Chain A
């Protein structure tokens, strides 16, 4: 009886061994009895006896021989003297353990139904360990589907790519899609069915629901309510329809906090019905955005970014630039891509829209004259002229935070200019039931208050947190007798609900959704639900009395109508394979403008300091609050991480006497909240912007108590723009973590002088001097061979290089998160970001141009390791941990790195990242599943940096070698390149003259960053060409002359 075995048995508080059953099954006596008894050998007995000294007694010959048999006899006689299992039986124990587990699986006695999912490229029988498979699936953002490909490593989805066949993606992705894979493995996810705060089971829930429904059936479902987010899923729509038919008095409410009520209402005003405009930015020569961030948010934004950028790329031969005007309150990704960005109060955008409409003769503007708005006037005049000059080739688009009237005016302008059927068309709304969601929510709240709601089933949303606080959703919810919540997290709403069902992640579930253009997109699961999550299909199925049906079957059954051609099985497989139902895009719809309605609407009033609520660029309405990648990705313009802030312009901040990182009290409609100030050049004066989605209390370990909750001061009657907000200084500081230090913009003129980091010219200037980027003032490029060391001959073999097109880059951050997912890059948290230790391998630098108070332009510049041919980092590493490969990669050998950090000091681009602590989480089991098995997880004390996705290069090379051919151009794409919605990044072999990258490097716009250091970087940039309007361009051109050196 060995002591360590004894200690391995755990005891419960009553002293009973916890592993009792196991002990019984594997008790030594049973196993030993099966052994054949060996004959006793007398010579062995004698041998034993000869060893004894003095008086020793023996009982039997067996004892003397001390045989195994005797030992086992003792065990049988006196089991208490023996350990539950002894060392001899360890192997048996393991065997039986394994067998036991296998048998336990069998004990269910039912064969699991096979649910076949179909891989995108390769069928499952080709599964080769170490080789990923890709499956098409669909993720929804704001209810609208985006077609994706999920990379699957041995059954684990690890990385998301865009589905090139899907109209909403075309192969591109956004930050949310890229980061979604992290949510799947979030250890904070809800892991079990909860009933009144205790762990329960799905069967209990089904039984309980059956009881509840039986009760309701008699009263036709009176008092029964379902609350969902925006629904575009045809299957869910049909299920809901079925439910509402069965229970005619039940009601379905929809509420999406970052919703599109204004868009819907706008179309209703303009056309008398809910329609959705689909834009074709490829065709538009002039685009006017009225506070619309169409490159970053809203249905179809990835596609729109792609189309928009396709008209921004210029080369010496081809130039087809569009022109973008943006009027917006707070700088956005779209605003920074504009040729003419106007920082204007969000409430003034309506005036602009009215004036444009007036000038185009659509409405009679009875209010103010253009001249009354000095700061807007020249801009407006230019737009009107430009729009008139481009009839049928323009788009006017209004933002989701703008009132309905602006949307209606935009529709009217587009119609008037003949853009309909040219640059945009209308379709029936892809939403299953387009409604005024704000109103829908308020009806629900009122009914709850009147105790008219007996049972509320909340599918996926989190209304206790994300509805305007003054509605008092949480308190009123308490009056509902049965509260059921389906959600991925046991969040704020789950806490006050009777039942909480864990929701399956989209990578775990069968789903369908419509894309922005109505295309039905299919979602396949990549993995069995990790925590027995359920889908809303399954809940609805229970509500419809069809409990027990799996999502797969539900989806298949409902899809039968949509997949008509040919045999269903073939069509089903094809649909899953491509991720979408062929030709399911909504047909164009004829609409008729109702000018009178627009004309009648009064102009809205706004006074005092304006507040604009915006869904956050990272956590949206709070749903991604527990996603560390999204929390840590710098917000596109402010470069803040891990917090929201009160964005304010420098002039307004001076006027209010507040400064960066001051904690202030914000009062709006008699409600207050405390938040920190962030002075953001480019923000409109007299207007502050706060992001929703922060200040959560039950988001999880990552998202709890990050930022402040702006829902507390949001109002339901005017959710986006409020007036007369008050700011009072608390006198306390509140540190914020920004990745790009603030002083760099204040010292911009001094600091950026002559560094030529961003090179930009107007279109006219470019036509005159196509090579303007080649000869910046003050750059003296030394001869390439001016190096102490022997120059390596890079003229042979594959030589990898990259070109980043600054014209196409919109600064959307998708590349940052894609890189993080691909390369197992850890997050470091707010404190470490504050310490300047972020780990992103690719970063997007933001530069302002012009005056601090009214910046002329804002530029984005993605920066990765430049893979310099004369890499300064390599010569200084004392242990040779960073070396050059013969194909031109600057490689980092983690195993060899001792962490002197000299390489980082000597890197002029500061793209190296150091593991100052053990940043990678090596402990949480679920997080290990997410990691890319092709990339080393780094430990404390080593340096890391962009590798040009060397694992993808290797995979491509192996593939090519197997087929005895050269690597094809475009075969190897880096993660950032693949994620980029605008194809701003090109990667390939620069030695191949036919490769895309080699061609781009020959462009006159191509330039190296700080070429005067003679580092010969492999990553180069294509300079920016802006397309200013000639009448507005005068001062712009002057600035552009100076601005080539930023």
Chain B
């Protein structure tokens, strides 16, 4: 314990991994109590209520869209893409935190991740689900969306594999599949705990079915560990690949501002940035409402803030890089685009983006800011807004004034654009609330492993669990 404490202080780690006094029993109690408690706390009902209303907005927006066509949105020629693509990229980006936390941090044996990985993974799933809605709905004829899949059609036609939109289909569907499997695999031991602790028959049966007969035998544990490691290995490239492919939607085109090689890494950094921001936005209130502060400790929060700072800096570097190359390349279209981005009709959004994503997050350099959940919460929301603005700027400023001045036109979302967007936020929150209510949001067994390891350490028998 003392060793690790020294190491922590050297690395500037804030606080312990887990609050002292947590036992194997108490962790189980704490986490399962969220599910088995008689009544959910009031904030849960409030959020669920708002989310349901927003779900209504989602339904309405989708129905109206399908009735009338994409013309209900603010799209035009030249702005053939708008909110739908902005929101798609935004949600996909948010999804990245989950996979990163559960896969990459797992492989790097970052133990602080354990308390948030389940939560972040669930968030990933729902964010990807939200993201997935947009490419479908933004089609002119959404009912033939399956033409984007390579299936043996009687017409003998295949998708056009040079198009990044086809790569998107593969990237996003793979990502969703792997994320679901990974999330579920990690959930199995905890489902068994739920089954064992369930107070009624229905709960026992449902949890029992999903626990797939987990008994916690050594063989089970062995296979589980291997499977989880393999899945983590499988997911790791996905963290990088998905958003790289999404960025190719832009980078492959010839549009000024889109056609740039920095996009893949810049998008991945942005994705992780926004994902961590979203985890913080959600985790900070949840841990205080459900009294999980002792499990999701300040150290975890602090680490997340640091990752946010790091990725935020990468993103900011991306912005500067874009400006530099617009000038350095000598490309007249590129330099006009950049100038127009900074001074044209969307200058306000651009400078807001720089403020939100580049300037304000610099506060995270200060330990005091990182230690203050309120300031962190506010910054995380600002980053979420900033990341949305970033995609808006990328999509709109390149399209609205491209090559031929005669076809230039401005873009603005309509009420249906906003309706669909906040509708997906509603869907996301709704799903998150159900998740909190029905699934152990913190991996019980992994926390127990940490406690087990700690206990062993204090007893002097240092062996891996």
Residue ranges of A at the interface with B (Cβ–Cβ < 8 Å): 740-741, 743-744, 747-748, 750-755, 757, 778, 789, 832, 835-838, 843, 845-847, 861, 863, 872, 875-880, 896-902, 904-906, 908-910, 912-918, 940-943, 1009-1010, 1013
Give every chain B residue within 8 A of A942 (Cβ-Cβ): 140-141
Do residues A845 and B404 form an inter-chain contact, with CB atoms below 8 A? Answer: yes
Say whether B302 faces chain A, with CB atoms less than 8 Å apart.
no
Taken residue by residue from 342 to 385, chain B's Cβ proximity to chain A (1 for < 8 Å, 0 otherwise) reads as 00010000000000000000000000000000000000000000
Do residues A917 and B69 form an inter-chain contact, with CB atoms below 8 A? Answer: yes
Query: Are A943 and B163 CB-contacts (below 8 A) given A753-B336, A901-B75?
Result: no
Q: How far is the CB of A873 from chain B (nearest CB, A)?
A: 10
Question: A906's contact among B139, B255, B405, B409, by CB below 8 Å, is which?
Answer: B255
B residues 140-191 in Cβ contact with A at 8 Å? 140-141, 144-145, 147-148, 157-160, 162-166, 169
Return the chain B residue nearest A919 by Cβ.
Answer: B71
Give every chain A residue within 8 A of B140 (Cβ-Cβ): 897-901, 914-915, 940-943
A741–B77 Cα distance when bound, in Å, is: 12
Say whether B52 faces chain A, with CB atoms less than 8 Å apart.
no
Do residues B163 and A754 form an inter-chain contact, with CB atoms below 8 A? Answer: no
Do residues B406 and A916 form an inter-chain contact, with CB atoms below 8 A? Answer: no
Say whether B25 faces chain A, with CB atoms less than 8 Å apart.
no
Question: A876's contact among B253, B403, B406, by CB below 8 Å, is which?
Answer: B253
Question: B139's contact among A748, A880, A899, A908, by CB below 8 Å, is which?
Answer: A899
Do residues B255 and A863 form an inter-chain contact, with CB atoms below 8 A? Answer: no
Say whether B391 faces chain A, with CB atoms less than 8 Å apart.
no
Question: B405's contact among A748, A878, A918, by CB below 8 Å, is which?
Answer: A748
Return the chain A residue nearest B395 by Cβ.
Answer: A905
Do residues B409 and A836 form an inter-chain contact, with CB atoms below 8 A? Answer: yes
Say whether B459 faces chain A, with CB atoms less than 8 Å apart.
no
Residue among A863, A916, A942, A1010 with the highest chain B CB neighbour number at 10 A: A916
Interface contact tally, CB-CB below 8 A: 171
A68–B46 Cα distance when bound, in Å, is: 72
Give every chain A residue within 8 A of B165 (Cβ-Cβ): 876, 878, 900, 902
B residues 308-357 in Cβ contact with A at 8 Å? 332, 336, 339, 345
Do residues A875 and B402 form an inter-chain contact, with CB atoms below 8 A? Answer: no
Do residues B77 and A912 form an inter-chain contact, with CB atoms below 8 A? Answer: yes
Say whether B436 faces chain A, with CB atoms less than 8 Å apart.
no
Say whether B113 faces chain A, with CB atoms less than 8 Å apart.
no
Stretch from B53-61, B78-86, B208-216 contacting the other chain:
B78-86
Do residues B404 and A940 form an inter-chain contact, with CB atoms below 8 A? Answer: no
Give every chain A residue within 8 A of B458 (Cβ-Cβ): none
A212–B408 Cα distance when bound, in Å, is: 62
Question: A751's contact among B78, B147, B336, by CB below 8 Å, is which?
Answer: B336
A743–B400 Cα distance when bound, in Å, is: 12
B residues 92-143 in Cβ contact with A at 8 Å? 138-141
Query: Are A904 and B77 CB-contacts (below 8 A) given A875-B162, A941-B141?
Result: yes
A901–B141 Cα distance when bound, in Å, is: 11
Say whether B399 faces chain A, with CB atoms less than 8 Å apart.
yes
Give every chain A residue within 8 A of B138 (Cβ-Cβ): 900-901
Do residues A847 and B406 form an inter-chain contact, with CB atoms below 8 A? Answer: yes
A747–B163 Cα distance when bound, in Å, is: 34
Instruction: Place the interface of chain B in its size category.
Output: 35 or more
Return the chain A residue nearest B135 by Cβ.
Answer: A900
Return the chain A residue nearest B414 by Cβ.
Answer: A835
Give every chain A residue within 8 A of B139 (Cβ-Cβ): 898-900, 941
Do residues A1013 and B332 form an inter-chain contact, with CB atoms below 8 A? Answer: no
Do residues B332 and A832 form an inter-chain contact, with CB atoms below 8 A? Answer: no
Say whether B407 faces chain A, with CB atoms less than 8 Å apart.
yes
Do residues A909 and B404 form an inter-chain contact, with CB atoms below 8 A? Answer: yes
Q: How far is the CB of A877 from chain B (nearest CB, A)?
A: 5
Do residues B160 and A741 form an inter-chain contact, with CB atoms below 8 A? Answer: no
Give every chain A residue within 8 A of B70 (Cβ-Cβ): 899, 914, 916, 941
Do residues B160 and A880 form an inter-chain contact, with CB atoms below 8 A? Answer: yes
A332–B188 Cα distance when bound, in Å, is: 77
Say whether B13 faces chain A, with CB atoms less than 8 Å apart.
no
Question: A910's contact among B81, B163, B169, B404, by CB below 8 Å, is which?
Answer: B404
Question: B163's contact among A750, A877, A908, by CB below 8 Å, is which?
Answer: A877
Say whether B10 faces chain A, with CB atoms less than 8 Å apart.
no
Name 23 A/B residue pairs within 8 A (Cβ), A-sorted.
A741-B410, A743-B345, A747-B405, A752-B405, A755-B405, A778-B332, A832-B71, A835-B74, A835-B76, A836-B79, A836-B409, A861-B406, A863-B406, A878-B148, A898-B147, A902-B163, A904-B77, A905-B81, A905-B255, A909-B403, A913-B77, A918-B69, A941-B140
A744–B76 Cα distance when bound, in Å, is: 17
Query: Are A876 and B148 CB-contacts (below 8 A) given A899-B139, A941-B139?
Result: no
Give every chain B residue within 8 A of A872 (Cβ-Cβ): 253-254
Give every chain A residue within 8 A of B74 (Cβ-Cβ): 835
Do residues B76 and A836 form an inter-chain contact, with CB atoms below 8 A? Answer: yes
Say whether B229 faces chain A, with CB atoms less than 8 Å apart.
no
Q: How far is the CB of A468 from chain B (nearest CB, A)?
A: 38
Q: How far is the CB of A394 from chain B (nearest CB, A)?
A: 35
Q: How far is the CB of B45 from chain A (nearest CB, A)?
A: 40
Q: How far is the CB of A900 from chain B (nearest CB, A)?
A: 6
Query: Are A901 and B81 CB-contacts (below 8 A) given A778-B332, A917-B68?
Result: yes
Say whether B252 faces chain A, with CB atoms less than 8 Å apart.
yes
Do residues A910 and B78 form an inter-chain contact, with CB atoms below 8 A? Answer: yes
Give every chain B residue within 8 A of A754 (Cβ-Cβ): 332
Do residues A878 and B404 form an inter-chain contact, with CB atoms below 8 A? Answer: no
Residue among B70, B80, B144 with the highest chain A CB neighbour number at 10 A: B80
Q: How far is the CB of A155 from chain B (nearest CB, A)?
A: 34
Return the chain B residue nearest A832 by Cβ.
Answer: B71
Do residues B403 and A755 form an inter-chain contact, with CB atoms below 8 A? Answer: yes
Say whether B243 faces chain A, with CB atoms less than 8 Å apart.
no
A832–B73 Cα distance when bound, in Å, is: 12
Question: A846's contact among B68, B162, B403, B406, by CB below 8 Å, is which?
Answer: B406
Give every chain B residue within 8 A of A743 (Cβ-Cβ): 345, 408
Question: B77's contact among A753, A836, A1009, by CB below 8 Å, is which?
Answer: A836
A309–B74 Cα distance when bound, in Å, is: 42
Give every chain B residue within 8 A of A753 (Cβ-Cβ): 332, 336
A341–B410 Cα distance when bound, in Å, is: 32
Taken residue by residue from 385 to 415, chain B's Cβ proximity to chain A (1 for < 8 Å, 0 otherwise) reads as 0000000000000010111111111100000
